[in-house]
């Protein structure tokens, strides 16, 4: 495709330079070739978009809209200027189409840069509707800005044709096209960088295409403002080259996502892209008001539309920030829960148990009920894993955890300390340690129904009490006493409990 396009472009350039078909024929052939380039570009992009999804499909559709507007503007120009032989009116469908070219092109650039930064396979699926609304508002902001600039310049030309300010209005109108083309290219280079253009061939070709258009538009504007009535067809080589590059954009190889993390400046530049046309529109409108001419209703409507779109985009940005803040807080809560809870049983883990025990020991007073720690180890639990598998063992641990929660008040802390070891922290509240330990031991010895099979497991329980007579005892020492008492219970024959001597 690239070879064919290059050969056609070279042949057309030779015809244009030599004016082999005469001036009218050369101009007609030149413009017709540009329309053909645009039509083939649109068809190629639409076919490619059907086989793709997400941002890779989106940029092709926006580029197709860009090429469609370019072709429509050229078609109207050919019909009015060359075929009908009429002077171009001040406002035509072609003018509107030309105004929309940089608008759709800038959205294409944003989509390509977004694809370059994230990569389609890494793109999050969250909030797609809100993303579409933001993109729509960006389109409104860019389109309103470009239309406002174009209309302001056009009205200056019409109202000041005979005044001294007429040259200024003409300059505004004539410079609008090259300025908008250069604006698209500069934004693409600033936001993506030179490396980004290299990683995304479609983006690089698009930038080169608009620079080629800007070159011809600048030369044409200079000649018109210099009073030249006849524009040489050779000036159109830039336009032809630009449309040829747009066609190559449609068949460019897929780009590569940017490696590593994105720079913070890239985030800010990417967010600022839709607002770049705003100061330009304000500058042109200010020129319009200082000229002393009456502001047209369309300009007022466009101005209100711009303000509404910017406010809407800011509200969505605020909503996004609140949404992200909520997600961050939820993630922090989830991480905190995971850090202090056992993932299998949902009970407190060793870290939370030790932290709570430490605070309880520090806050313990002579007037408070005595603090009691139970250290539970299930006897021969390894046989369950060996005989029935670890899945059954995990299900049995979950059933044991649920039983412990049922046996004890919600104010008591039950924790899985690791493996088949559990800890309980509570205040005695009128019961002796032996009574509390016996109640837990008897409750744990009841059969567990797991996967349709009953399992009976025995537990050895060690108890350690923090009495007012031992105020220097630390949390680690209290837990060690309960652990030692548990091993004493095992030595007694398992399935029993033992109280550490005070």
- pLDDT tens per residue, range 190-240: 666 666 666 778 888 888 998 998 898 888 877 876 777 777 888 889 999
Residue range 412-433: mean pLDDT, rounded: 89
Q: Please give the average per-residue pLDDT across 367-395, as a whole number.
A: 88
State whether the Cα torsion 416-418-422-426 is positive or negative: negative
- Give the pLDDT confidence score for residue 268 in this predicted structure: 58
Q: With left for phi above 0 and alpha for psi between -120 and 50, is residue 258 left, alpha or beta?
A: beta
Residue 17 pLDDT class (50, 70, 90 cuts): confident
CATH topology classification for 2-118+133-334: Rhopdopsin 7-helix transmembrane proteins (1.20.1070)
Note the pLDDT of residue 136: 66
What number of other Cβ atoms are within 10 A of residue 249's Cβ? 27
Query: CATH topology of 2-118+133-334 equal to that of 350-499?
Result: no
Q: Is the pLDDT of residue 405 over 80?
A: yes
The mean pLDDT value for 452-475 works out to 85
Which pLDDT does position 464 carry in this prediction? 93
Confidence category of residue 92, pLDDT binned at 50, 70, 90 = low
Enumerate the β-bridge partners of residue 462: 375, 498
Q: Report how far apart the first and last C-alpha atoms of the chain are (Å, whole number).
A: 91
17: tokens are: 């330079």
Q: Is pLDDT of 49 > 80?
A: yes
213 phi, psi to nearest 5 deg: -60, -45
Q: How confident is the model at residue 324 (pLDDT cuts 50, 70, 90)?
A: confident
> What is the CATH number that goes with domain 350-499?
3.30.70.270
Confidence at 59, pLDDT banded by 50, 70, 90:
confident
Among residues 215, 59, 38, 45, the alpha carbon closest in space to that of 123 is found at: 59
Q: Which of 9-18, 126-135, 275-284 has the lowest mean pLDDT?
A: 126-135
Residues 6+ apart with CB under 8 A from 228: none
- pLDDT of 161 > 60? The answer is no
State yes or no: pLDDT of 290 exceeds 90. no
Q: What is the pLDDT of residue 472?
A: 77
pLDDT at res. 25: 86
Q: How confident is the model at residue 379 (pLDDT cuts 50, 70, 90)?
A: confident
* Per-residue model confidence (pLDDT) at position 148: 67
Q: Identify the pLDDT of residue 43.
A: 93
Res 272: pLDDT: 65
Q: Kindly state the average pLDDT of the residues 248-267.
A: 62
Average confidence score pLDDT of the chain: 79
Domain-wise residue ranges, the chain: 2-118+133-334, 350-499
DSSP per-residue codes, 320-370: HHHHHHHHHHHHHHHHHHHHHB-TTT-SB-HHHHHHHHHHHHHH--TTSPP
Residue 98 banded pLDDT, cuts 50, 70, 90: confident
What pTM did the predictor assign?
0.53
């Amino acid at each position: 495709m690239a070879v064919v396009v290059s050969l056609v472009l070279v042949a057309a350039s030779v015809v244009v330079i030599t004016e082999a078909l005469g001036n009218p024929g050369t101009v007609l052939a030149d413009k017709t070739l540009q329309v053909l380039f645009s039509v083939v570009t649109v068809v190629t992009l639409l076919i490619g978009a059907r086989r793709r999804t997400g941002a890779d499909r989106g940029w092709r559709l926006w580029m197709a809209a860009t090429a469609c507007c370019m072709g429509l503007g050229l078609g109207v120009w050919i019909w009015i200027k060359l075929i009908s032989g009429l002077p171009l009116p001040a406002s035509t469908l072609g003018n509107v189409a030309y105004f929309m070219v940089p608008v759709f092109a800038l959205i294409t650039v944003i989509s390509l840069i977004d694809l370059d930064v994230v990569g389609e396979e890494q793109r999050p699926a969250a909030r797609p509707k809100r993303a579409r609304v933001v993109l729509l508002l960006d389109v409104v902001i860019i389109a309103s800005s470009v239309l406002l600039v174009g209309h302001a310049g056009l009205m200056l030309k019409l109202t000041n044709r005979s005044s001294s300010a007429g040259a200024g209005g003409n300059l505004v109108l004539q410079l609008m096209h090259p300025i908008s083309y250069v604006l698209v290219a500069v934004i693409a280079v600033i936001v993506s960088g030179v490396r980004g253009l290299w990683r995304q061939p479609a983006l690089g070709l698009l930038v080169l295409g608009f620079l080629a258009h800007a070159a011809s538009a600048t030369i044409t504007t200079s000649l018109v403002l210099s009073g030249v009535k006849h524009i040489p067809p050779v000036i159109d080589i830039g336009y032809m080259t630009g449309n040829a590059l747009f066609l190559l954009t449609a068949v460019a190889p897929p780009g590569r996502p940017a490696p590593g993390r994105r720079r913070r400046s890239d985030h800010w530049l990417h967010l600022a892209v839709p607002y770049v046309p705003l100061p330009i529109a304000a500058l042109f409108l200010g020129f319009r008001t200082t000229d002393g001419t009456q502001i047209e209703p369309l300009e007022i409507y466009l101005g209100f539309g711009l303000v509404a779109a910017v406010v809407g985009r800011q509200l969505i940005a605020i909503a996004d920030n609140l949404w992200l803040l909520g997600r961050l807080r939820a993630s922090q809560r989830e991480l905190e829960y995971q850090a202090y809870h056992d993932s299998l049983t949902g009970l407190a883990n060793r870290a939370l148990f030790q932290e709570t025990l430490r605070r309880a020991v520090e806050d313990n007073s002579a007037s408070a009920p005595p603090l009691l720690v139970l250290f539970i180890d299930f006897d021969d639990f390894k046989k369950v894993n060996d005989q029935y598998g670890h899945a059954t063992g995990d299900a049995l641990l979950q059933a044991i955890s649920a039983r412990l929660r049922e046996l004890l008040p919600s104010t008591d802390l039950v924790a899985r300390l690791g493996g088949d070891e559990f800890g309980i922290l509570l205040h005695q509240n009128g019961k002796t340690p032996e009574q509390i330990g016996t109640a837990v031991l008897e409750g744990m010895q009841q059969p567990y129904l797991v996967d349709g099979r009953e399992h009976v497991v025995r537990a050895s329980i060690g108890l350690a009490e923090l009495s007012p007579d031992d105020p220097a005892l630390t949390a680690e020492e209290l837990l060690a006493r309960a652990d030692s008492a548990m091993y004493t219970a095992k030595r007694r024959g398992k399935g029993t409990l033992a109280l550490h001597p005070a």
